Structure 1
Amino acid sequence: MLKGIIVLLFFQFLGECIAKFFELLVPGPVIGMILLLLFLLVRKGSFISLDNAVALHLRYLPLLFIPAAMGIITQIDIITKEFWAIAIALFVGTIVALAFSAKFMDYLTIKGEKNEL
């Protein structure tokens, strides 16, 4: 499991370095996750210690929602003032994400059917 945690931290560090060096607006951990995804795609799979480390982290993931919930509670006056802007942004964002996901799945399905032939 230690190897898996080291791999996770390495990709997060690499993402942070890239974000700082190129002064990107994307957070370093997001870049690290993308690099980890590319690494796993090239490797064509994961390994046991990484799976164990991820499972350990996922077990405690709900704890990360507590600060978000407290932020909502403490900022309720701002949220009520900007309710319609937030609601419209959430609705439009959801529709765009669903449309993109559907088109991407169509693309992958067609590509998979061509590869089977």
Structure 2
Amino acid sequence: MLKGIIVLLFCQFLGECITKYFELLVPGPVIGMILLLIFLLIRKSSFHSLDNAVALHLRYLPLLFIPAAMGIITQIDIITREFWAIAIALFVGTLVALVFAAKFMDYLTIKAEKK
């Protein structure tokens, strides 16, 4: 499991370095996840210690939402002022995601039926 945690931390570290070096607005962990995805695509599979490390982190994932919820509570004045913009963005974003997921499932179903 140590090897898996090292891979996760290394990808996050590279993501942070890329974000700082190129002064990107994208958070470092997001770049790190993309780097991890590229690593796994090139490798064509995962490995046992990485799977264990990810499973351990996923078990405690709900705890990571507590700071985000507290951040929302501290910004309630901005949220009330921009309520309609936030509500419309959430609605449109959800609608786009649902349409994309439905079209993708149609594509996968048609592809599976051809086989």
TM-score, scaled relative to structure 1: 0.80
CA separation of 1:77 and 1:91: change in aligned 2, threshold 3 A: same
SS at match of 2:39: helix
Structure 1 unaligned spans of 5+:
none
Structure 2 unaligned spans of 5+:
none
CA separation of 1:43 and 1:110: change in aligned 2, threshold 3 A: farther
Q: Percent identity?
A: 89
| Match in the other structure for 2:82 | 82
Measured against aligned partners, the alpha-carbon deviations of 1:58-110 in whole angstroms (never above 9, x if no partner) come to 11111111112222323323322222111001011112223333444555666
CA separation of 1:111 and 1:38: change in aligned 2, threshold 3 A: farther
* Separation (CA, whole Å) in 1 of partners of 2:22 and 2:105: 32
Aligned pairs (5 A) from 1:99-110:
99-106=99-106
* Separation (CA, whole Å) in 2 of partners of 1:38 and 1:103: 25
CA RMSD of superposed structures (Å): 2.2
SS at match of 2:73: helix
Deviation at 1:23, TM superposition (A): 2.4
| Match in the other structure for 1:22 | 22
SS at match of 1:25: coil
Task: Give the number of equivalent residue pairs.
Answer: 115
Q: Letter of the 1:33 partner, please give it.
A: M
Q: Letter of the 2:56 partner, please give it.
A: L
Q: Letter of the 1:75 partner, please give it.
A: Q
Q: Letter of the 1:72 partner, please give it.
A: I
CA separation of 1:18 and 1:76: change in aligned 2, threshold 3 A: closer
SS at match of 1:80: helix
* Separation (CA, whole Å) in 2 of partners of 1:112 and 1:38: 26
Q: Letter of the 2:89 partner, please give it.
A: A
